[in-house]
Amino acid sequence: MVKIGLEVHVHLTALKTKLFCSCPTDYIDKEPNTVVCPVCLGLPGAIPIINENALKYAIMVSLALNGEVADRLSMVRKHYFYPDMAKNYQISQYDGPGSIAISKGGFVKLRDGKTIRIRRINIEEDPAKIIYPTGSMLTSKYTLLDYNRSGMALLEIVTEPDMTEPREAREFLEKLRSILEHLGVCNCDLEGAMRADANVSVEGGERVEVKNIGSPKEVEEAIKYEIARQRAAIAQGLKVERETRHWDAQRKVTVPTRTKEQEEDYRYFPDPDLPPYPVSKQLVEEIRKSLPELPDIRIQRLVKQYEITEYDATVLVTDKVLADLFEETAKHYFNYKKLANLLINDYLRWLNDKNLRPSQSKATPSHLVELLKLLDDGVITIKIAKEILPEVVLEGKMPSQIIKERGLTAVKDEEFLVQIIREVIKEEPDAAEKARRDPKVINYLVGKVMKKTGKRADPQLTNELIRKILSGEGK
């Protein structure tokens, strides 16, 4: 039996300033250690002040995840050896005597209906970014610290160990990301904006935590590896120790970093500079009423409004940018099923193959409308559409411009096509003979014609002409 739980760390990137000071949150690509102040560096005499918008965003996330919001905001100091925290402690939350997390309970439902329970949500500050200039964490000769990120507001979303397969962990993270993006609290495409620690245990062994994994796909791969590693150890009669491991994304392996500490090792105690802050029921209800349309509701609306399948709607809504692109394009192109099919089976698949996100695409609704109308009018074939898609996405070129530059209009000249078909039949006599008995083989011959015409032959017309020629009706 396998048990999997996640601790997800989410930057509240929508905030303009850090959690306890007025330093801006726009620290990416800035010179190292320039977006800092005495508060986020923890210098003597510096007093932190809570960012009220961080509290409001945390309440939004709690409500969206069906959690119970606490009646007060309680902050603690988490002491440990923190080389990436200048003050050598982290301001966080702790669910224990005299302290409470901002949210408890809640759940997320996966596509198959399985419920993944949320244990708690904490507000805390992020540490500095650790940089390994001469290799990886294991091989670099020295370490550098960039404190620009320290003090950034983040949420720690902790699940119960309800997942039993790596796939479920990936799906949970993809749905959580969609919820956060629909709330508008986090741009999860930014580097480090959403990271996860995976707790994995196999029956017969201790729980192992794999730290700081960068994407849902990497989480799935890390858990797969860790399950296989633990099972192999148990099969050899070895003991799986409780420890913390690091995911090496290059080698696709986990490596040990330290023996897993216990909660008491952190020496939690209430932060004397941040007394408990009351959270009124009125504030919670105001935020509840202001929540935007969330993914599950949006999926049902897309199914009803555009008459697409629930599967297609779910895939679209998994990424808010993709769902927005669909709806904006649907204002000008009304074959919604064809639009959804293009986005899911061609556009999104190509992005995934190139490890790109929809937010990185330069394709706009105007590009998609023109591409689909060119298909509808028979100016191009679906194969040509797939061929020019990369240029549309990466360069933002209009489809008509690409077609003109590369001479890619569909071939509908019957006389020319018949000539090519006869060449193919001559080259493929066995296939032609089989096609006379089995119409499915005609698709093979169509493919050969497409290849000879640079994918420009109209496939439907080509299919019809091949049938006529094989039956003796052709020219």
What pLDDT was estimated at residue 36? 96
Q: Which of 406, 426, 460 is at the close of a domain?
A: 406
- 309 and 275 both lie in a single domain: no
| Selected residue with higher pLDDT from 182 and 83 | 182
- 68 and 180 both lie in a single domain: yes
- 263 and 328 both lie in a single domain: no
Burial status of residue 435 (CB atoms within 10 A of its CB: 0-12, 13-18, 19 or more): buried
Within 13 Å of residue 104, how many CA atoms lie on the same side as its CB? 11
Q: For residues 210 and 256, is the Cβ–Cβ distance under 8 A?
A: no
Q: Which of 261, 287, 313 is at the close of a domain?
A: 287
Burial status of residue 28 (CB atoms within 10 A of its CB: 0-12, 13-18, 19 or more): middle
Q: For residues 43 and 151, is the Cβ–Cβ distance under 8 A?
A: no
- 336 and 278 both lie in a single domain: no
- 144 and 270 both lie in a single domain: yes
Within 13 Å of residue 308, how many CA atoms lie on the same side as its CB? 29
- 227 and 205 both lie in a single domain: yes
- 158 and 267 both lie in a single domain: yes
- pLDDT tens column, 127-170: 999 998 988 777 889 999 999 999 999 999 999 999 999 999 99
State the residue range of the domain holding 163: 2-287
- 88 and 186 both lie in a single domain: yes
Most confident by average pLDDT, 100-114, 201-215, 415-429: 100-114
For the record, the structure tokens of 449 come out as 């014609």
What pLDDT was estimated at residue 249? 87
* pLDDT band at residue 83 using 50, 70 and 90 as cut-offs: confident
- 398 and 449 both lie in a single domain: no
- 343 and 398 both lie in a single domain: yes
422 has a pLDDT exceeding 90: no
Tell me how far the alpha carbon of residue 310 is from its chain's centroid: 20
Q: What is the CA radius of gyration of the chain?
A: 28
- 18 and 131 both lie in a single domain: yes
Number of domains in the chain: 3
Helix residue ranges, H only, 135-215: 166-183
Q: For residues 12 and 153, is the Cβ–Cβ distance under 8 A?
A: yes
Q: Which of 378, 406, 434 is at the close of a domain?
A: 406
245 has a pLDDT exceeding 90: yes
Phi, psi (5° rounding) for residue 253? -140, 160
Residues 6 or more apart whose Cβ sits within 8 Å of residue 335: 372, 376
What pLDDT was estimated at residue 470? 85
Query: What is the CATH classification number for the domain harbouring 427?
Result: 1.10.10
- 241 and 137 both lie in a single domain: yes
